[in-house]
Amino acid sequence: MSNRHVLLIEDEPNIIEAIRFLLTREGWKVEAHSNGADAVEVVRHLRPDLVILDMMLPGKSGMDILRELRAIADLANLPVLMLTARGQMRDRDMAEKAGVSRFMTKPFSNAEVVTAVRDLVAQASRP
């Protein structure tokens, strides 16, 4: 399980720390990025196994980032776990139409995050 790489695109330091702590303890390498404006370039450069993406970011919304990632051929199947403080159905529907892998509302439990990350990476590694 070592060498799994998560890119966390989130601008709230306490959430970054919590997720980094949780996933590092599970053997993941976690990198955090907090600006939406250049997030797509960062994903292209780092090539993570999974992206955890906040809906509300400075520079560009998580929804726009997700749509851009899905439009890039070699990132179209990258697992994306979207976090949002607003659990409205409209957001969820938009995210699903844009191709999100899973949607999680803040506040979330530690177990929820770890399980979601494990599941998404396991699904992605299946042919």
Q: CATH code at 103?
A: 3.40.50.2300
Global pTM?
0.94
pLDDT (tens digit per residue) in 42-88: 999 999 999 999 999 999 999 999 999 999 999 999 999 999 887 68
Q: How many angstroms separate the CA atoms of 107 and 79, rounded? A: 21
Counting the structural domains of the chain, the total is 1
Residue 81 lies in domain: 4-125
pLDDT (tens digit per residue) in 15-33: 999 999 999 999 999 999 9
Check residue 86 and give its pLDDT. Answer: 73
Could you tell me which residue, 3 or 112, shows the higher pLDDT? Answer: 112
Q: How many angstroms separate the CA atoms of 5 and 66, rounded? A: 18
